[in-house]
C-alpha cells in the first residue's frame, strides 16, 4: 500500500530564510503527488501538484517542489519565507481519487 512520510513534525525558520519541507513516499509506480497547506482553523488548500513531466513544479504563494524518483521524494521549497507562511503542511500521494494518502504533517513556525 502506498504511504507518505514527513520526517519533520515541526520546523522553525526565520523570516526571510529559505525553507525545505521533506516528503518521502512509498508506491509501486509513479504516483500523483500533492502539497497542501492548512492555516489554523482552516481547511486544506492545494499548493501544488505533480502528475508527470517536468520534475520541478511551481505552485501558489511562491512555493515549488521537486520530484526525485530515485529518492522517492517530493520536497517542498520556498526561497524566502514570510510570516504568513506559518501553517501546517501536508504532503499527499494518490494513484486515483479514492486512494489518497496524507502524511502526518509538518508544522512551520516563522520567527520574526
Partner 1 sequence: DAGITQSPRYKITETGRQVTLMCHQTWSHSYMFWYRQDLGHGLRLIYYSAAADITDKGEVPDGYVVSRSKTENFPLTLESATRSQTSVYFCASSSSGYEQYFGPGTRLTVT
- 100, 2 contact by CB (below 8 A): no
13-21, 58-66, 71-79, 86-94 -> range binding partner 1 (CB under 8 A): 86-94
Q: Which three cell numbers stand for residue 84?
A: 504568513
Q: Can you tell me which of 21, 25, 34, 76 binds partner 1, judged by CB under 8 A?
A: 34
Strand 106-111 relative to strand 87-94: parallel, antiparallel, unpaired?
Answer: antiparallel
For the record, the C-alpha cell of 78 comes out as: 520556498
Distant-in-sequence, close-in-space partners of 98: CB < 8 Å, separation ≥ 6: none
**How far is residue 93's CA from residue 74's CA, in Å, rounded to a whole number?**
10
Nearer to partner 1, 2 or 15 (CB): 2
Select from 8, 13, 86, 102 the one that contacts partner 1 (CB under 8 A).
102
Nearer CB in complex with partner 1: 92/110: 92
Which residues contact partner 1 (rule: CB under 8 A)? 4, 32, 34, 36, 41-46, 49, 51, 90, 92, 94, 96-100, 102-105
Amino acid at each position: 500500500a502506498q504511504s507518505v512520510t514527513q520526517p519533520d513534525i515541526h520546523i522553525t525558520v526565520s523570516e526571510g530564510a529559505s525553507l525545505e519541507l521533506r516528503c518521502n513516499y512509498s508506491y509501486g509506480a509513479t504516483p500523483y503527488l500533492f502539497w497542501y497547506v492548512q492555516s489554523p482553523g482552516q481547511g486544506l488548500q492545494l499548493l501544488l501538484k505533480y502528475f508527470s513531466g517536468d520534475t520541478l513544479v511551481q505552485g501558489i504563494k511562491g512555493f515549488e517542489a521537486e520530484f526525485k524518483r530515485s529518492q522517492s521524494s517530493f520536497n517542498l521549497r520556498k526561497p524566502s519565507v514570510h510570516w504568513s507562511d506559518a501553517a501546517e503542511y501536508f504532503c499527499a500521494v494518490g494513484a486515483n481519487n479514492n486512494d489518497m494518502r496524507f502524511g502526518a504533517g509538518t508544522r512551520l513556525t516563522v520567527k520574526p
